[in-house]
């Protein structure tokens, strides 16, 4: 008897309860200790974000291969459990298993604080040069980077160069990461020149770090040149350049690269999918592209990943395709970004009552709102003239400290103005520590709309005295009051 088809269906379904049911059945019939069944269940739980449950199963398994270790390490890193990742990496070293390329990259990420996700300490680990001087220097550089001691790191690197101590790929990856942290294009270019001079630019991990550096420092043209000059590329190379194009507003190029990636026969991961979804948001044909990316995510088993499902929810919500978003949302465990995307989508789709219902459900379940949640809910309350719910949101903002956030406080002001409660609006406005031009204009507009023209001009005088310059909307509002 095999549970393989059921387990595969569980993963594709997106429903964690289905997996739990199959798990219970496996325990009942004595297959829970089967190597394949237990391994598949670990994979499913991790894909659904149930890392704790996955680890329990992982520990109970009599034999764990490298693939399972990789899954656990990846899950801890992706979910920000750095301490657990370090502990598990130590356990892996003690296991006596030989790491494969994926293991090396994961171990490098753990030791190098993300910067080594591009290949960081793979070379040193693989060669086992723990006692060598270069290994020692790289460990010092890594500690400096983690502690944000950039001056010390650069001085150590300068000493290595001046003493003619040979640098390796790890050294250059660490210093390239430092240039990103310092937002220093000059430093990044210098290190890139050194890699070209010494031939390290031909190493995949270094080239990937150079691309990442140029993308993060907003020099996408340089990143493109490096990418196209590479004789070898891996998924990290493609992910870096696609995300770089998406972040730089070059959405068409990002989508085009995604299509090229597929034609090259590479399998996109969750980072690829989330980056290309980000790129599609502002394109005219965005909905069609989102659906195509969604199909690829299903094909490559990425939909169960929380980042991918949240990105899809956000993409569909932005396009007011709330039915598609709802299907994904119902399968998702709590993620504030997904909830915010749904509420924003309902508001943009003129279905604000669902926004308020979701907000109420969020608090009923004991989840916390953030500034985006509150700004969205306050905007909805203003549109629906729902002052009672608006007051509740305002009270929550005060209680949680978000009333000091300019975005939220401006939302409170706008809500009271639209609901016609000018007394509360004046109080909210006076509570804003440093109103920007939007808050001033909202107050002026509110006074005019509620028949307080003289007060509107007084507020405008105060605005000029505070040194805030009016924009064209402010002038148009005042002109309306004067006519």
Residue 82 in domain: yes
- In this structure, what is the dihedral angle of CA atoms 103, 107, 112, 114, given to the nearest 10 degrees? 60
Q: For tokens 């990846």, what's the residue?
A: 74
Mean pLDDT of 406-430: 92
d(CA 66, CA 392): 52
Q: Of residues 83 and 312, which shows the higher confidence score? A: 312
Is pLDDT of 119 > 60? Answer: no
Task: Give me the percent of the chain exceeding a pLDDT of 90.
Answer: 30
What is the structure's pLDDT at 4?
57
The reported pTM is 0.63
Q: Of residues 478 and 118, which shows the higher confidence score? A: 478
Nearest Cα neighbor of 49 from 283, 247, 335 is 335
Residue 370 in domain: no
Q: What is the mean pLDDT of the chain?
A: 83
Residues 277-313 pLDDT 10s:
988 877 888 888 899 889 888 888 778 787 888 889 9
Residues 84-104 pLDDT 10s:
887 787 777 767 677 776 777
What is the structure's pLDDT at 9?
66
- Say if CB 209 and CB 173 are below 8 A apart: yes
d(CA 101, CA 109): 13
Residue 240 in domain: no
Residue 42 in domain: yes
Give the burial class of 78: count Cβ atoms within 10 A of its Cβ; 0-12 exposed, 13-18 middle, 19 or more buried.
Answer: middle
* pLDDT-derived band at 15, boundaries 50, 70, 90: low
Q: Look at the chain and report how many structural domains it folds into.
A: 1
The count of C-alpha atoms lying within 13 angstroms of the C-alpha of 365, restricted to the half-sphere facing its C-beta, is 14
Spatial neighbors of 165 by CB under 8 A, at least 6 apart, are 133, 134, 137, 159
Residue 7 in domain: yes
Residue 29 in domain: yes
What is the structure's pLDDT at 355?
94
Spatial neighbors of 148 by CB under 8 A, at least 6 apart, are 181
Query: Which domain range does residue 60 map to?
Result: 1-98
Residue 71 in domain: yes
Report which listed range, 34-38, 111-115, 162-166, 415-419, is most confident. Answer: 415-419
Residue 4 in domain: yes
């Amino acid at each position: 008897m095999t549970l393989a088809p059921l387990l595969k269906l569980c993963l594709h379904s997106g429903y964690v309860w289905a997996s739990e049911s199959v798990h219970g059945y496996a325990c009942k019939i004595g297959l829970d200790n089967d190597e394949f069944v237990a391994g598949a269940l670990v994979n499913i739980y991790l894909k659904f974000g149930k890392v704790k449950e996955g680890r329990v199963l992982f520990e109970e398994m009599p034999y764990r291969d490298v693939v399972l270790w990789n899954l656990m390490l990846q899950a801890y890193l992706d979910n920000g459990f750095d301490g657990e990742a370090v502990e598990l990496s130590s356990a892996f070293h003690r296991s006596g298993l030989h790491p494969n390329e994926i293991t090396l990259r994961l171990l490098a990420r753990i030791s190098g604080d993300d910067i080594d996700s591009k290949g960081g300490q793979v070379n040193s680990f693989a060669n086992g040069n723990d006692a060598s001087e270069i290994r020692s220097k790289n460990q010092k550089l890594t500690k400096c980077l983690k502690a944000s001691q950039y001056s010390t790191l650069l001085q150590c690197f300068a000493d290595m160069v001046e003493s003619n101590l040979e640098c390796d790929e790890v050294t250059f990856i660490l210093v390239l990461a430092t240039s990103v942290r310092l937002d220093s294009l000059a430093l990044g270019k210098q290190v890139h020149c050194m890699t070209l001079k010494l031939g390290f630019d031909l190493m995949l991990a270094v080239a990937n770090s150079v691309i990442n550096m140029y993308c993060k420092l907003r020099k996408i043209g340089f990143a493109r040149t490096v990418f196209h000059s590479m004789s070898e590329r891996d998924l990290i190379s493609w992910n870096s350049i696609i995300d770089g194009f998406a972040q730089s507003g070059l959405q068409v190029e990002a989508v085009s690269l995604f299509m090229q990636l597929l034609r090259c026969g590479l399998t996109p991961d969750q980072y690829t999918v989330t980056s290309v979804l980000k790129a599609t948001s502002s394109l005219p044909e965005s909905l069609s592209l989102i659906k195509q990316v969604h199909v690829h995510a299903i094909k490559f088993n990425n939909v169960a990943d929380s980042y991918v499902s949240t990105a899809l929810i956000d993409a569909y919500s932005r396009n007011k395709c709330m039915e598609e978003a709802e299907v994904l949302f119902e399968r998702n465990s709590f993620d504030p970004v997904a909830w915010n995307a749904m509420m924003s989508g309902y508001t943009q789709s003129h279905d604000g009552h669902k926004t308020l219902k979701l907000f109420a459900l969020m608090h009923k379940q004991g989840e916390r709102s953030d500034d985006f949640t509150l700004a969205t809910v306050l905007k909805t309350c203003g549109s629906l003239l729902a002052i009672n719910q608006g007051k509740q949101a305002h009270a929550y903002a005060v209680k949680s400290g978000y009333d000091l956030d300019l975005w939220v406080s401006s939302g409170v002001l706008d809500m009271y103005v639209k609901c016609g409660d000018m007394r509360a609006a004046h109080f909210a406005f006076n509570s804003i520590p440093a109103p920007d031009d939007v808050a001033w204009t909202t107050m002026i507009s509110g006074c005019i709309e509620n028949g307080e023209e003289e007060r509107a001009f007084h507020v405008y005088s105060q605005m000029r005295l505070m040194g805030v310059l009016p924009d064209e909307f402010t002038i148009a509002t005042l002109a309306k009051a004067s006519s």
